Amino acid sequence: MAKEEHLRKELERQRDEITRQRNEIIESIQYASLIQTSLLPPGKVFDKAFPRHFVLFIPKNIVSGDFYWLVSKGHRTYFAVADCTGHGVPGALMSILGISFLNEIVTMRDNLPANRILNLLREMVMKALHQTGDSTEALDGMDISLCIYDKGKNILQFSGANNPLYIVRQDVVIEYKPDRMPIGVSGIEEQPFTNHYIELKKNDNLYLFTDGYVDQFGGPEGKKFKFDPFRTLLLKIASLPMKEQGKILRETFEEWKGDYVQIDDILVMGINVF
């Protein structure tokens, strides 16, 4: 009996210790989450640049591997939506790296086109992670859609690393395809990213997003949401006010997910430039 009692006490002690450690980790990650949130563009800055917009951001964990970014400089506004390798803490660390590098590029280099920003961002990530294309090294990095909106000329530049840009214009979804390579080293040698120059029309809606939304399992048959239904949904809601669109996207997501586990961070950004 004495032995059983001893064992019980030991188990209790271990349980308490694990609980204490878990709480400490959660507190520390929650604090990290505050830091990560403070690095994202504040609502006021976003509103000033694009009064009509929404950002649907549902991290899978407390901290997220997805991030969005926006900086205005002169008559140009740079904005991006990115998805870093992994989610949770590793993804968050990479996202902080991405945000810092983007800020540095835009601060130090004037008037770089969108694709050259991505070229440079890839160089910075490769250097920071000591990537040399060696087949044994980890392929850490990020996928990103990056846009530069020139208000004076009403021209949008887009360059994408694995992530596309959708523009809904008069009941049509126009897809600007990304280059099929990440920001970071990959199996093939680095090529320059492509720059798209897009003349925007009145009432164009821009959508930038990571793959979390379309990859979410759910629905009656437990399948992925996929791109076609996503495009259809965007078409359906495109004429609604942007905030309303964000709300519907959230509700549709929750409904689709149902009791399934959220598999990745969710990030969708919608902007109406007029």
Q: Which residues of this protein are in contact with other proteins, per CB under 8 A?
A: 116, 119-120, 122-129, 131-133, 185, 189-192
Q: For other proteins, which is the closer residue by CB, 120 or 155? A: 120
- Give the shortest CB-131-to-other proteins separation in angstroms: 6
- Give the shortest CB-113-to-other proteins separation in angstroms: 9
Q: For other proteins, which is the closer residue by CB, 112 or 155? A: 112
Q: Quick check: 269 and 49 in contact, CB under 8 A?
A: no
Residues 6 or more apart whose Cβ sits within 8 Å of residue 25: none
Element (H, E) at 115: helix 114-128
Q: Write the burial class of residue 232 (CB in 10 Å: 0-12 exposed, 13-18 middle, 19+ buried).
A: exposed
* Residue of 264, 269, 268 lying closest to 65 (CA atoms): 264
- Give the shortest CB-8-to-other proteins separation in angstroms: 42
How far, in Å, CA of 173 to CA of 258, rounded? 27
Q: For other proteins, which is the closer residue by CB, 188 or 261? A: 188
* Residue of 209, 214, 243 lying closest to 227 (CA atoms): 214
- Give the shortest CB-132-to-other proteins separation in angstroms: 5
- Give the shortest CB-134-to-other proteins separation in angstroms: 8
Q: For other proteins, which is the closer residue by CB, 129 or 155? A: 129
* Residue of 177, 140, 150 lying closest to 162 (CA atoms): 177
User: What is the distance of C-alpha 211 from the center of its chain?
Assistant: 8
How far, in Å, CA of 8 to CA of 243, rounded? 55
Q: For other proteins, which is the closer residue by CB, 118 or 214? A: 118
- Give the shortest CB-183-to-other proteins separation in angstroms: 11
Q: For other proteins, which is the closer residue by CB, 189 or 221? A: 189
